[in-house]
Amino acid sequence: MFRCAFNYIVIYVNNKKLCHIKDYGCIDWQKFPQHTIFAHVDHKFDRTLFVIVINATNSSIMLRWTCCLCTEGQVVHTLPEGPTVAGVTTLGEQVYVLRWKERDQVEVYDVITYCLQRYLTVPNAQGFIDMTSCEHFLCLYISDHKAECIHSLGLQGNATQWPVSDKPWGLSVNAAHNVLVTCLDVGKIKEFSPRGDLLRDVTLPDDVINPFHAIQLTSGQFIVCHGSRSRGDRVHRVCTVSADGREIVHSHGGQRGSDTGQYNAPVHLAVDSNEFVFVADQHNQRVTLLSPTLNYIRQVVSRDQLKWEPGILCLDVQRRRLYVADMEWSDEDDTYTAGRVVVFSV
């Protein structure tokens, strides 16, 4: 198997152009076996263009093969249903799942076998919204919106916490190993050191209302998702925001809806090593893939692959696994009542 990167792919079958895909990114390409039905396969590509020219003896099978480039992710495993999932992350050889419970809130699974190994307890917790991890300091960070604090949890269960002074929501860790806390109510991103020292806060543009989650890119810019159905927001988008927070550089979305290019509560993000963006489109019950410039690529997870709604994403870049927190919402109770984690190969 070899890996190549490209911005544009064109597929020809029997000298006829079948389709093209723009801004697709990287793909692992498997060599064809000796008994393949294809009479000839010729690959010609450079950094920006990848052309596949195929002379096939069976066009129907060829169509199925080429369409795999555009299909949704495949379900690899589903972790058990239980209390609501408030976070999921990977660290080393383990998957960590945070649930709404009084103790043993963090379930630790083997990343290969998905066998439950142990539990971790978050002391003095009042409520959970998100969880992320830091490979450098080997710890978990958990946002507590009720206590308005961040819990830092070591892998052996040692814990500390620090105040945010606003209601924390989505979490991420940047290249400097600092913690980025998205504060939904005040429209800010707060950057904390691993010890909990506030390094800076970034005020987002006025039209970025109710931001749920932010991830910092290598350029220093931020990818931010915003728009709440329950709060009546009209604009539901994913934006690239300048490093100082003053300018929207790119955006995808707009008026709330269910069509391609629209969102109904984009609540969580994941970004791969090439800065392609995965978006949890909660009430549309799907996960969307965007290019680094926020052009629509495809739907990665469909509503048919979920039981409820996607609320949280975690991307294991090394293993190309996308972890999706599938969460059940109760209108009667006005809260989430159950959850599970579905693992997709992407």
Over 50: is that where the pLDDT of 78 sits? Answer: yes
As a whole number, mean pLDDT of residues 257-281 equals 95
Please tell me the predicted confidence (pLDDT) of residue 58: 42
Range among 17-31, 120-134, 318-332 with highest mean pLDDT value: 120-134
pLDDT digits (tens, 9 = 90+) for 14-72: 444 444 444 444 444 443 333 333 333 333 333 333 444 444 444 433 333 333 344 67
Please tell me the predicted confidence (pLDDT) of residue 18: 44
Please tell me the predicted confidence (pLDDT) of residue 39: 30
What is d(CA 14, CA 166) in angstroms, rounded to the nearest whole number?
60
pTM for the predicted model, two decimal places: 0.81
Secondary structure (3-state) at 70: coil
Average pLDDT over the chain, rounded to an integer: 84
Please tell me the predicted confidence (pLDDT) of residue 25: 43
Q: How many CB atoms are located within 10 Å of the residue 93 CB? A: 10
| Percent of the chain surpassing pLDDT 70 | 79
As a whole number, mean pLDDT of residues 148-166 equals 95
Please tell me the predicted confidence (pLDDT) of residue 141: 98
What is d(CA 259, CA 58) in angstroms, rounded to the nearest whole number?
34
Q: Which residue type does 257 have?
A: G
232 or 343, which is more confident:
343
Please tell me the predicted confidence (pLDDT) of residue 192: 98
Full set of structural domains in the chain with CATH = 2-67 (no CATH), 74-345 (2.120.10.30)
DSSP string, 139-198: EEEEEETTTTEEEEEETTS-EEEEE-SS-EEEEEE-TTSPEEEEETTTTEEEEE-TT--E
Contact by Cβ (8 Å): 143, 130? yes
